[in-house]
Amino acid sequence: MKKNNYKYTKTIRIWLIIGLVMLVGQVILGGITRLTGSGLSITKWDVITGVIPPLNHSEWVHEFELYKQTPQFHKLNSSFTLQNFKFIYFWEYFHRLWVRTLGFIFLIPFLIFVFKKQINSYLIKRLAVVILLTILTASAGWIMVLSGFVNRPWVNAYKLTLHFILAIFVITAMIKTIADVYNFGLDKKIKQHKFVTIVLGVAFLQMIFAGLMSGMKAGLYYPSWPDMNGEFIPAVLKSSANWNFGNMINYDSYLFAPALIQFTHRFLAYLLVTLTIILFFKLKDVVSNDQKKWIQFPLVLVLVQLTLGILTVLNVKGEIPLVLGVSHQLVGLLFFMSLLFLFFNTRKFKA
């Protein structure tokens, strides 16, 4: 691929980095919202009026009454007081406020830069892709939330995973844009780049299973390590009769799907650690000293991620520990992002 030789200002480059940081923040806030059970606390999506939270007691009572009509309140949180409600409302409100703020940070400077002709058609097209994916992600998020208002006290795991993966696509598109603006890459093709692609593909698969782990609350069922409640392969997975489509759909009522998802998630974690170590040694004598940080980041992050995953599982006490759970998600996302940056830094990219 040819380099993008357009001269972007320092302001534009910093703006793109801020946008990426904001996107990561949005994903992490989504994780906090999920772990605190806050995602269903706001029962409607008002793009404009929803910016203003309840400002007095009567408005809070009104919002609480709306929440009392949801399955989550009846099945899980019927003992909630108004103060309990305010806590979960805060996280969902902050999550939505963050995405609105992100929209302004993207849109207003974008229009200014276009008006002043400080960005070329390439960057306009790349950012249009980011904006389109962001809109799709937000739409999938609302569809996900709606799934929690019908006969169940939490959102559908598969819709949650779709929402999460679309968010990963947004971040990927943003990193691709930054990589091209900063002209990341090599003048010649290296054979190790194919192995980077393989590791990145396995990491993406792991992200899908991470979404399913979250949606199915699969981490709650086997709070032990290195075994899974005394077994390395859960007994429910050993019976061929359990391997059917119905068990994957009815994950709320039968153990098979959570067991399969957590078992696979663990296996992929061990595989990724192994592949990342191999990747480091394959590339350490190939890349320049300036680029060595791009092979060091994934190695450090994958080891931290594995440790956090183990600690999270071992500290499950009826619910996922908030700090460990959020840290596990953040480092996992940073690991995937580091592989993306490595991918773009080792591609063939010359003038």
Packing angle of the helix pair 121-146, 82-115 (nearest 10 deg):
160
Q: How far apart are CA 37 and CA 70, in angstroms?
A: 13
Tokens read off for 120: 């070329």
Please give the C-alpha separations between residue 133 and each of 127, 163, 172, 198, 337, in angstroms, as whole numbers: 10, 11, 10, 24, 17
Provide the Cα torsion 91, 309, 196, 123; round to 10°.
Answer: 10
Better-predicted residue by pLDDT, 315 or 144: 315
Tokens read off for 160: 């949650």
Q: How far apart are CA 69 and CA 269, in angstroms?
A: 40
Residue 351 in this model has a pLDDT that exceeds 80? no
pLDDT, tens digit, 9 for 90 and up, residues 205-261: 999 999 999 989 898 999 999 999 999 999 999 999 999 999 898 888 889 999 999
* Beta carbons of 45 and 142 less than 8 angstroms apart: yes
Q: How far apart are CA 330 and CA 28, in angstroms?
A: 6
Tell me the pLDDT of the chain averaged across its residues.
Answer: 88
Structure confidence at residue 48 (pLDDT): 60
Residue 146 in this model has a pLDDT that exceeds 90? no
Please give the C-alpha separations between residue 8 and each of 120, 180, 349, in angstroms, as whole numbers: 9, 11, 18
Please give the C-alpha separations between residue 305 and each of 12, 56, 106, 300, 322, in angstroms, as whole numbers: 32, 43, 30, 9, 15
Residue 43 in this model has a pLDDT that exceeds 60? yes
- Residue 228, beta-bridge partner list: 231
pTM for this predicted structure = 0.91
Lowest mean pLDDT among 55-64, 138-147, 290-299, 307-316: 138-147
